[in-house]
């Protein structure tokens, strides 16, 4: 599925009815986009970081599974380590770190 997701555009996958590939491409794109946003966003307010954290954990729920999403999930995990620890979100965060380490 990794090669297929990379070689087939989202529009082509949808047109072909290949919804698993379409979903996989959305997961990868979401993880990459969020990683870039967090890397270049500077300091966030507590409220904004809470929103970003919720989104990041949701994306990681899906991105930590498929092999083709692993590079984006790994980068997102790395960028979230410090802010998650500073926010005291260890209880929410540890299951995702554990899944990432298992990869």
Those residues with Cβ within 8 angstroms of residue 68's Cβ, 6 or more apart along the chain or in another chain: 1, 2, 5, 6, 24, 28
Query: Would the pLDDT of 17 be above 70?
Result: yes
Domain boundaries, the chain: 2-102
What is the average pLDDT across 21-26?
Answer: 90
Predicted confidence band of residue 4 (pLDDT cuts 50, 70, 90): very low
User: What distance in Å separates the CA atoms of residue 8 and residue 29, rounded to the nearest whole number?
Assistant: 13
Compute the average pLDDT of residues 66-81. 93
Q: What is the pLDDT of residue 1?
A: 44
Q: What is the pLDDT of residue 2?
A: 44
pLDDT value, residue 48? 82
Do residues 60 and 73 lie in contact, with contact meaning Cβ atoms separated by under 8 Å? yes
Yes or no: say if 64 and 100 are a contact pair by the CB < 8 Å rule: yes
């Amino acid at each position: 599925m990794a090669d297929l997701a990379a070689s087939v555009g989202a529009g082509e996958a949808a047109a072909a009815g290949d919804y698993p590939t379409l979903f996989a491409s959305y997961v990868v794109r979401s993880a990459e986009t969020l990683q870039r946003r967090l890397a270049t966003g500077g300091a966030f307010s507590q409220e904004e970081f809470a929103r970003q954290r919720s989104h990041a954990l949701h994306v990681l729920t899906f991105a930590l599974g498929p092999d083709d999403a692993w590079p984006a999930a790994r980068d997102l995990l790395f960028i979230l380590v410090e802010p998650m620890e500073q926010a005291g979100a260890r209880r929410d965060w540890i299951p995702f770190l554990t899944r990432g380490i298992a990869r």
